[in-house]
Amino acid sequence: MDPSSHHRAGRRPAGWVGFARSFLVCATLMGLALIGFVAAVDPYGLRAAPGHPPGPIMDANQRLSYPQIARGGPFDAAVFGTSTARLLDPQALDAAFGVRFANLAVNAATPDEQGRLAALFLARRPIRAVLFGLDAPWCAADPPARTAHAFPDWLYADRVPGDVLRQVSLRSVTTAVRAGLADLGLTRARIRGDGYAVFTPPEARYDLARAQAHIRAGRVDSAADAPELPMPALDRLDDLLGRVPAEALKIVAFMPVHAGAQGSPGSAAGRREEACKARAAAIGKSRGAVVVDFRRISPLTTRDANYWDALHYRLPVAARVVSDLARAVATGRDDPDGIYRVLAHP
């Protein structure tokens, strides 16, 4: 056998050991650099506090991006709910009520998810107003705790040192890069700093026939929980309202989904909704809250042209809801056109 072959065979393991060592060192340095980069940019606002507002909101997943708004920023009021409350513009609410609103309504959020976000907000700052937009899950006998969307519980808890490592992922690195570009003025934030974003299509693209097809597809099922069954989510609402200072403005509003998505009067779903409204009104009365019912058969909810689908109204309707809420709070009286009822008023 050629002696040189023994020499090459003897060198090969040492060469691989050196390569592996260099690879591990480079991978470790790169990992530490990524951790440091994500920690420095802080894309999910772990350092956010009332005196330390978060940076640009770049992750479209509200369950990841909204805790930083709840932790930081100049806000003393907030909207909580689902997509049926997302179009309520905080700037319009500010003008109506003289406070600083954030809109923290989350698409398809369960009552538990809404409650976790509300608790985080309420614990971090002086509160002057809250607005809870209620939908059908608040009336359910057994509402789910979570949806299929990722819900990182650690983002809603008090900070611990390991959170810096928990937030490091391919998604967070990508979000951090986008946030860095936004800080440099090279791109725009995906969600406004107060949580507001128009998620519906542009108004210029509205198609009534298409909307009517979506409305028909979203009509409520005839099945419903019996009116006498418990409504555990409303107990959570009671607890949250109890955490709000007595002098703060507290508003609970059943949001104006299309009439087709409501339980018709006298049906099982309709009786359940009425029982839910009565329970919410009792809670509101005991907690000094204004409770307003837009979820009713009315000229607003029966007009197809007001909606994109059975749940989501158009921007002009959102503006009307804000002005109607201001009127309901100021007067305590029902709308003369039947758009809303005031179920409770301090």
Query: Over the stretch 97-112, which tens digit does the pLDDT of each residue have?
Result: 999 999 999 999 999 9
- Per-residue tokens: 285: 């009365």
- At position 27, the amino acid (one-letter code) is A
Q: What is the pLDDT of residue 299?
A: 98
Per-residue pLDDT tens digits for 301-316: 999 999 999 999 999 9
Identify the bridge partners of residue 313 per DSSP, sorted by sequence position: 307
Q: Is the pLDDT of residue 60 over 90?
A: no
Q: What is the pLDDT of residue 1?
A: 47
Per-residue pLDDT tens digits for 111-168: 999 999 999 999 989 999 999 999 999 999 999 999 998 899 999 998 777 777 788 7
Residue 313 is classified by DSSP as B
With beta carbons less than 8 A apart as the criterion, state whether 105 and 135 touch: no
Per-residue pLDDT tens digits for 173-205: 888 889 888 888 889 999 999 999 999 999 999
With beta carbons less than 8 A apart as the criterion, state whether 94 and 195 touch: no
Per-residue pLDDT tens digits for 212-253: 999 999 887 656 778 889 999 999 999 999 999 999 999 999
b/e string for 117-144 if b means 16 or more Cβ within 10 A?
Answer: bbbbbbebbebbbbbbbbbbbbbbeebe
- What DSSP line would sit under 199-247, residue for residue? -SPPGGG--HHHHHHHHHHTPPPS----TTS--HHHHHHHHHHHHS-TT
* CA pair distance 293, 107, nearest whole angstrom: 21
Helices 268-287 and 232-243: crossing angle, nearest 10°?
20
- Per-residue tokens: 310: 């059975």
Q: Is the pLDDT of residue 67 over 90?
A: yes
What's the mean pLDDT when you consider all of the chain?
A: 90
Measured at the alpha carbon of residue 36, what is the angle toward residues 32 and 42, in degrees to the nearest 5? Answer: 145
Q: What is the pLDDT of residue 2?
A: 52
Quick one: average pLDDT of 313-330?
A: 98
Quick one: average pLDDT of 206-212?
A: 98
Q: What is the pLDDT of residue 185?
A: 87
Q: What distances in angstroms separate CA 307 from CA 145, 192, 240, 311, one per listed residue?
A: 28, 24, 31, 8
Per-residue pLDDT tens digits for 246-298: 999 999 999 999 999 998 888 888 999 999 999 999 999 999 999 999 999 99
